[in-house]
Amino acid sequence: MRKVLTAAAVTAGALLMTTAGTASALDPWEASVPGASAKGGWTGLGKDKYGNDSYRADGKLTVTDPEACYHVQGRGTSFIAKPRPFIFKGTSSARQCGPGTIDVTSTVMSGWDLSVKICTDLDNCDYGAFTQLTVPAGVRTGVSAVSAGRDFSVALKNGKVTAWGVKAEGRTSVPAEAASGVTAIDAGESHALAVRDGKVLAWGAKADGRTTVPADAKSGVTAVAAGGRHSLALKGGKVIAWGQDGKGKATVPAEAKSGVTAIAAAGGVSAALKGGKVLIWGDAPDVMLDLPAEVAAGGVSAIALSSGHVMALKGGKVYSWGFGGDHLNLPAATESGVTEISTSGQCSYALKNGEVTGWGENERGLCDAPAAKSGVTGLDAGAEHNLVLKDGRVFVWGHLNP
């Protein structure tokens, strides 16, 4: 049985479930905030591909605010309420910018205490925005490189590094040395690295020595890669590693001590590109070490990692292997012409003719790459947000807080 709510509770957008899966067609919902209001009905969709109950909120959104953009997002909570219930965020609806009325739809997992929230792009509840609103004004244009960490972002402009997002453990506390002359950057789980005049600069979380740069990495370095709790640097074709060394993630194999042209790190996994061949070490499951025959044959020009799967680019074609579920279901656009790749635990991306193609788990539509359909020159995937460059302008989509 579904408990009937008071009129006030329904107006707030809530629908309480005493048994998951009992929402019937057009159970009503309403929600309002200053500048916008919405109302409609819930429909039960049955089980999603993971076996979870799924629901869809359909309705209309009316905006009276002359400036801001609004959308709706369905939400549900877990049955277990201790110490506090977990909130399942649904997909975001279409946006209405300025006065007007549009049809809206949002799908959400979990049938407990369903509700609908009206959001603006600055509310940090959206995973479909494509915006500059949360990018610091100083790096909205003229940027040459970007890197997305777990919950923070780093950008490079005229040799100066800027970081924003979650400030914990010094993630955004860029050292004074990184104010000029920087040529390379990379953001990891909770620390970041940069190269200035061949010297590695590191900041953020200090545990496990991940930001304690060894003497060998203080000159001659050309590239860096920040993992979960370890760091890599490339110097004269040799990989240098430091930080947490569990399962050998910071122990460089003999093969990677010469001739290396590119490096990557994610979670507890390290990787390098040598003579067009991929080298992988550290806390990597066997399925990540089992390279596809086409990749093992060499000719690879770029690599990208998450903690459970690997991507490689060869002759413009994308390869993917390891754990990854939907990450391994490559879309047709990745068969040829790709120039850049990036991946995270949530989504994988490919850049082709200035357009970003995304695929993966796609929770809350994070992999959909909204508006990144032309003019893109660079991209980087974070845990729950992504960064792209378009004509030197930085845009973010996903969780907007970073």
238 and 337 part of one domain: yes
Is residue 210 within 8 Å of residue 202, measured between CB atoms?
yes
Residue 129 domain-assigned (yes or no): no
59 and 160 part of one domain: no
100 and 206 part of one domain: no
CATH for 173: 2.130.10.30
Residue 371, pLDDT score: 66
232 and 330 part of one domain: yes
Residue 2 domain-assigned (yes or no): no
For 8, phi then psi, to 5°, come to -65, -40
107 and 141 part of one domain: no
- Checking if the pLDDT of 37 tops 60, the result is yes
Q: What is the pLDDT of residues 100-113, one digit of tens each?
A: 999 999 988 765 67
- Checking if the pLDDT of 246 tops 70, the result is yes
12 and 161 part of one domain: no
Is residue 344 within 8 Å of residue 382, measured between CB atoms?
yes
Q: What is the pLDDT of residues 290-323, one digit of tens each?
A: 999 999 999 999 999 999 999 999 999 999 999 8
Residue 128 domain-assigned (yes or no): no
Is residue 205 within 8 Å of residue 187, measured between CB atoms?
no
Q: What is the pLDDT of residues 356-381, one digit of tens each?
A: 999 998 766 778 876 678 899 999 99
N residues, the chain: 402
82 and 218 part of one domain: no
Asked which of 120, 149, 168 is the last residue of a domain, the reply is 120
For 246, phi then psi, to 5°, come to -60, 135
154 and 50 part of one domain: no
79 and 221 part of one domain: no
**46-55, 70-79, 164-173: range with highest mean pLDDT:** 164-173
Residue 188 domain-assigned (yes or no): yes
- Domain coverage including residue 63: 7-120
228 and 106 part of one domain: no
CATH for 38: 2.60.40
Number of domains in the chain: 2
- Checking if the pLDDT of 346 tops 80, the result is yes
Asked which of 93, 120, 147 is the last residue of a domain, the reply is 120
Task: Give residue 95's identity as a one-letter amino acid code.
Answer: R
195 and 230 part of one domain: yes
| Residues paired with 89 in a beta bridge | 75
Contacts of 297 (CB under 8 A, 6+ apart): none
Asked which of 57, 91, 120 is the last residue of a domain, the reply is 120
Residue 130 domain-assigned (yes or no): no
Residue 142 domain-assigned (yes or no): yes
51 and 96 part of one domain: yes
**118-127, 304-313, 384-393: range with highest mean pLDDT:** 304-313
Residue 125 domain-assigned (yes or no): no
Q: What is the DSSP string of 70-130?
A: EEEEEEEE-S--SSSPPEEEEEE---EESSEEEEEEEEEE--EEEEEEEEETTSS--SS--
Could you tell me the sign of the dihedral formed by the alpha carbons of 64, 65, 69, 71, in that order? negative
Residue 12, pLDDT score: 37
Residue 105 domain-assigned (yes or no): yes
Both tokens assigned to 117: 């929230």
Q: Is pTM beyond 0.75 here?
A: yes
Task: Give the Cα separation of 359 and 253 in Å (integer).
Answer: 32
Contacts of 32 (CB under 8 A, 6+ apart): 11, 38, 118
Residue 127, pLDDT score: 60
The H or E element spanning position 7 is helix 7-11
Once rounded to an integer, what is the mean pLDDT over residues 269-274? 97
| Residues paired with 83 in a beta bridge | none
Q: List alpha helices for 160-316, DSSP H.
A: 286-289, 293-296
